[in-house]
Chains A and B, each alone.
Chain A
Amino acid sequence: MTELLKLSAAELGAAIASGETSAVEATQAYLDRIAEVDGQIHAFLHVAADKALEQARAVDARRAAGEKLGPLAGVPVAHKDVFTTKDMPTTAASKILEGWQSPYDATVTERLRDAGLVILGKTNLDEFAMGSSTENSAYGPTRNPWDTDRVPGGSSGGSSAAVAAFEAPLATGTDTGGSIRQPAAVCGLVGAKPTYGTSSRYGLIAFASSLDTPGPIARNVLDAALLHEAFSGHDPRDSTSVNEPVPPVVEAARRADVSGMRIGVVKELSGEGYQPGVMQRFTEAVELFESLGAKIVEVSCPSFTAALAAYYLIAPSECSSNLARFDAMRYGLRVGDDGTRSADEVMALTRAQGFGPEVKRRIILGTYALSSGYYDAYYGSAQKVRTLIKRDFEAAFQQADVLVSPTTPTTAFRLGERIDDPMAMYLADLCTIPTNLAGNAALSVPCGLAPEDNMPVGLHIMAPTLADDRAYQAGAAVEAALRDKWGGDLLSQCAYAV
């Protein structure tokens, strides 16, 4: 069974399609693995063993009937518990949704099913995807398989930990300020934030609508590209969905070539506050690009220094409104409804009890930022910064085909280390936030372990809007070169490697 777990998603899909193995065997192998290790990792909030096997049997039946299967048919996937699923619970890791059953599937869920992917269960996250450590989950933290005293990143920490611990070959995530790339980086994985609007938000429980982007987490670039392609594309149910063909990410991941590519190093995303080991691995990766035939240029994006501040106005503002619907009236938790209280009182009691401290912090921040008299100074200014960041990206992409930086300033921190220091926690997304504000594409790919703590370091590759394929192409090139250098995947060094 361990042999099945070692296969990449691409290899596993091919093995199922050829009949070398079955979807049921693969699914059972992963369910066994979850049973074995998830007690220590806590990547999953819900494991849907019966339903997963049922889906796997359906894939095997389709193959038996002579149907030609897609590249990921029968391949298991861990699904972030912020996407609605009509056959398993959806909680967004919040008490306020405990016990709620969605009557409908998110578009991403639907497309996973359509591609024949087998949903193993729902993974843990920071409550409503607000956080960088998965410690904000109302159902307890997830641990980093590289070092279970450390966080797996967040908010898609359950997804990254599941993939890093070989509990799933693939996982979905959502990236609002770095929530895919940061956990992928600190768990030694590949994670992509697609161009905003190319992956549907329908059925994704909204945190910040103008920033939220579903994307893939995988052990390697090609697997990420395959999952990316499986659930992306225009969705008429999401008005912000872009009606454009999905960039050819799978083809780019197979091409894995940077010769002649101009790679821009963003001056503002390095220096003070960055862990030395992170900078060391980043610098080596840039040198590696050069040795592979890329042209390295330094670019300056001065507005990026204001990105974190702008983000922490825009995201809380949107979330303060998006989370207003959790009011105990139609679904979810209801507190204090004993016949003596008004609807207003029940709403207030429910929200006080149902939301965790970080969610409340952001609702309060956002409510304040949108208030009459403050709107222009806060939300209005933040939107202007957003425009400036877009312009910086546009100018930088005149000089370079892709931009690079470390994915995170530090490696995974210890559980509890930053939970009482929101600013330190927010800094984890320093490098990833500009891409969310501008809406373009980015990928994180492992580039080694930091010498001081032996924890994974992520290389962040940013590409222009609708040019996601460039990030995949560059990422695949560096991945291949490093694999040669290391004699295998970085992940084989993880404590939970199989």
Chain B
Amino acid sequence: MGSAVTSDHSAKGGATALMPYDEVLRGYEPVLGLETHVELGTRSKMFCSCATTFGAEPNTQVCPVCLALPGALPVVNSAAVESAIRLGLALNCSIAEWCRFARKNYFYPDMPKNYQISQYDEPLCYDGYLDVTVDTPEGPREFRIGIERVHMEEDTGKTSHVGGADGRIHGAEYSTVDYNRAGIPLLEIVTKPIEDAGEWAPQVARAYVRELRDLIRALGISDVRMEEGSLRCDVNVSLKPRGSTEWGTRTETKNVNSLRSIERAVRHEIERQGGVLSAGGRVVQETRHFQESTGTTVAGRSKEEAQDYRYFPDPDLVPVAPDREWVEQLRATLPELPSAKRRRLKAEWNLTDKELQDLVNANAVDLVEQTVAAGAPPAEARKWWLNDLSRRATETGVELSELPITPAQVARVVELVAEGSLTNKLARQVVDGVLAGEGEPDEVVEARGLRVVSDDAALGAIVDQAIANNADAAEKVRNGKIAAVGALVGAVMRETKGQADAGRARQLILERLGVSG
């Protein structure tokens, strides 16, 4: 490879300096492509009836078919085909009238048959699009992402390397394989090249995956837990010199497994490739791996000597030819999709673009909608989920939807505040109690004794005490300086640890001091 700078793993070359992002963008336009794998939430595997429960004891959800015992044969799981068609329809794709499964042949210990059943030149769904929105200083901007194809395939087993550093194969003493995952149905969603993202490329990539995730969740075909690997994203990036019609060489960064990482990986690849090109090097077509800890990508295997997968139609399976009536029935019964829901809620709740985008960014749209459905005013529901609860989710490192509080419980807290039973401050304590597993809001109020004290008998004595203890203030009020009542109310509140109904306390103080409020 001579003196040319090739890539940052080159033994002689060492790491090439990154080029500042803005500088790269002055000379180049990024071109993106995303390949996303989604594990479907079907009860059984793609080609056998084994269970798909996540986290089961290794090699307990296996059978002759998914272990590829001699003689075993695959049978297509029609629930997986249905899921694939529904996603295809939601992505505005055409649904093939007839398509086949193909074998992708390569040897790897976690692939029992040493071929993966996938689809090659006949995907089930093709030629669609997904609109995504990116926040810019000028306001939200929409991008239309072309969808090349959605196809069905099976997952491999999971290899663990034991005894080496950071779980990688190099230096490992031995490896184990768990075949529970082998044969779990996957959908692969491939975008067309995204050429118009420009400086927003990292955000567009992130927004696309988030939109896709929300769409898949809305369809109910997968719970899409990125941290469990049920959605995995490969990010292709290349740089096209401005004004050129020819694309640059692309890299494929594998298994980028969080929304934040997707954005970082794209940005890093743009900066890295810019650096390589500006140093007079060439970008190597290769697989790269994203390093969560450093936010950088490192070279994997080179793709220049392309592996020959020897695809051919799987003779063990018959073609999939979805009945047209069935497809139309699936189309007619699609749920409201996230984009449509957002448009509707924006109108119903009278939101600004920014307010809507805040909800989307916080993954709070469905939660707020459900809270409103449980009786809370939209503004109150938004306030709770975007402020207190988002903060709590961030603190505990879980997704908002994973907090141990339901929209109905939030709605009840809102109701208690509205009827005057709780102050906002008390309401937060109630929410704390619910999150701590102390039961329903009403149970927390009861157990912690958090209800506002507005009972005149109980308040009366405290008010008298406050007047006695604050004679100066009382005197000022009597003399017509009504503003001085604040000190007395404050004393009542202190005495009741904030549980007094401040309005009623003020009224009682004024009555007692013979002044009308």
User: Measuring CB to CB, which residues of chain A are less than 8 angstroms from any residue of chain B?
Assistant: 83-84, 90, 92, 97, 100, 102-104, 106, 201-206, 208-210, 236-240, 317-318, 320-321, 324-327, 329-331, 343-344, 347, 367, 370-372, 375, 379
Report yes or no: B316 in contact with A84, Cβ–Cβ below 8 A: no
Closest B residue, CB atoms, query A212: B315
Residues of B at the A interface (CB closer than 8 Å) are 64, 67-76, 103, 105, 107, 109, 112-115, 175, 177, 306, 308, 310-312, 315-318
**A343 interface neighbour in B109, B112, B306, Cβ under 8 Å:** B109
**Inter-chain contacts of A208 with B (CB < 8 A):** 315
Chain B: minimal CB distance from A439 (Å)? 12
* Contact status of A239 and B70, CB under 8 A, knowing A321-B105, A324-B105: no
- Complex contact B310–A327 (CB within 8 A): no
B314 to nearest A CB, angstroms? 8
Contact among B73, B75, B107, B315 with A324 in the assembled complex (CB-CB below 8 Å): B107
B173 to chain A, nearest CB (A): 9
A176 to B112, CA, bound (A): 24
Whether B69 contacts A104 by the Cβ 8 Å rule is: yes
Asked whether, in the complex, the Cβ of B70 is within 8 Å of the Cβ of A327, the reply is no
Which one of B73, B74, B177 has the greatest number of beta carbons of chain A within 10 Å?
B73
19 extra interface residue pairs, beta carbon distance < 8 Å, beyond A239-B318, A325-B68, A330-B67: A84-B70, A97-B70, A100-B70, A102-B71, A106-B71, A204-B71, A208-B315, A236-B75, A239-B73, A240-B315, A324-B113, A325-B112, A329-B177, A331-B70, A343-B175, A367-B310, A372-B306, A372-B310, A375-B310
Taking the closest CB of chain B, its distance from the CB of A113, in whole angstroms, is 16
Nearest to B159 among chain A residues (CB) is A343
Contacts of A240 in B (CB 8 A): 315-318
Are the CB atoms of A102 and B315 closer together than 8 Å? Answer: no
Whether A330 pairs with B73 at a CB distance below 8 angstroms is: no
Q: A84-B70, A238-B73, A325-B114 are in contact. Are A372 and B109 (CB under 8 A)?
A: no
CB contacts (< 8 Å) of A102 on chain B: these are 69-71
B312 and A209 within 8 A (CB): no
Please list 23 pairs of residues, one from A and one from B, whose beta carbons are closer than 8 Å in the complex, sorted by A's number: A84-B70, A90-B71, A104-B64, A104-B72, A106-B71, A203-B72, A209-B315, A236-B75, A237-B75, A240-B315, A317-B312, A320-B105, A321-B115, A325-B114, A327-B114, A329-B112, A330-B67, A344-B107, A347-B107, A371-B308, A372-B310, A375-B312, A379-B312
Contacts of B103 in A (CB 8 A): 321
Given A327-B107, A329-B109: A372 and B308 within 8 A (CB)? yes
Given contact pairs A239-B317, A240-B316, A206 touches B68 in the complex (Cβ within 8 A): no
Give Cα distance in the complex from A62 to B112, angstroms. Answer: 42
Q: Is the CB of A201 within 8 A of B175?
A: no
Q: Which chain A residues lie closer than 8 Å to B115 at the CB level?
A: 321, 324
Shortest beta-carbon contacts, A-B, top 7: A324-B114, A209-B315, A370-B310, A210-B315, A203-B71, A325-B68, A205-B70
Give A347's nearest chain B residue, CB to CB: B107
Say what secondary structure dominates the interface of chain B: loop
Contacting pair A370 B105 (CB below 8 A): yes
A321 close to B312 (CB less than 8 A): yes
CA distance A370 to B309 in the complex (A): 9
A349 smallest CB distance to B (angstroms): 13
Q: What is the distance, in angstroms, from B59's C-beta to the closest C-beta of chain A?
A: 10
CB pair A201–B310 under 8 Å, yes or no, is: no
Q: How far is the CA of A236 from the CA of B318 in the complex (A)?
A: 12
Contact (Cβ within 8 A) B71 A205 = yes
Residues in A with CB closer than 8 Å to B308 are: 371-372
A201 and B73 contacting across the interface, CB-CB below 8 Å:
yes
Query: How long is the Cα–Cα vector from A92 to B103 in the complex, in angstroms?
Result: 23
Q: Which residue of A lies closest to B312 (CB)?
A: A370
**Which chain A residue has the least Cβ–Cβ distance from B306?**
A372
- With beta carbons under 8 angstroms apart, the residue of A320, A325, A379 that contacts B70 is A325
CA distance A236 to B75 in the complex (A): 8
Chain A residue contacts of B74, Cβ below 8 A: 239
CB distance from A384 to the nearest CB of B (A): 14
Say whether, besides A97-B70, A203-B71, A238-B73, A318 and B315 are in contact (CB < 8 Å). Answer: yes
* Cα distance A318–B313 in the bound complex, in angstroms: 10
Interface centre among A239, A240, A379 (most CB of B within 10 A): A239
A204 to B315, CA, bound (A): 14
- Give every chain A residue within 8 A of B113 (Cβ-Cβ): 324-325
**Which residues of chain A have C-beta atoms less than 8 A from B73's C-beta?**
201-202, 237-239
The complex places the Cα of A379 from the Cα of B313 at a distance, in Å, of 11
Query: Taking CB as reference atom, which chain A residue is nearest B76?
Result: A239
Query: When chains A and B are docked, how far (Å) is the Cα of A390 from the Cα of B276?
Result: 57
Chain A residues, Cβ within 8 Å of B312: 317, 321, 370, 375, 379
Known contacts A104-B64, A324-B105, A327-B107, A83 near B310 by CB under 8 Å:
no
A168 to B103: give the CA distance in the assembly, Å: 40
What residue of chain B has the Cβ atom nearest to residue A128's Cβ? B70
Distance between B208 CB and nearest chain A CB, rounded to angstroms: 30
Most buried by A among B64, B70, B175, B310: B70
Q: How far is the CA of A237 from the CA of B115 in the complex (A)?
A: 20
Per the bound structure, the CA–CA distance linking A317 and B103 in Å amounts to: 12
Min CB distance, B76 to chain A, in Å?
Answer: 7
Q: Report chain B residues within 8 Å CB of A100.
A: 70
Is the Cβ of B70 less than 8 Å from the Cβ of A92?
A: yes
Chain A residues with CB below 8 A from B310, complex form: 320-321, 367, 370-372, 375
- Determine the chain B residues whose CB is within 8 A of the CB of A205 once the complex forms: 70-71
CA distance A236 to B78 in the complex (A): 13
Instruction: Give every chain A residue within 8 A of B112 (Cβ-Cβ).
Output: 325, 329-330
**What is the minimal beta-carbon distance from A213 to any residue of chain B, in angstroms?**
13
Given contacts A325-B114, A370-B310, contact A330 B105 (CB under 8 A): no
Contacts of B306 in A (CB 8 A): 372
Instruction: Write out the residue numbers on chain A whose beta carbons fall within 8 Å of the beta carbon of B70.
Output: 84, 90, 92, 97, 100, 102, 205, 325-326, 331
CB–CB A206/B75 < 8 A: no
When distances are taken between beta carbons in the complex, the residues of chain B under 8 Å from A329 are 109, 112, 177
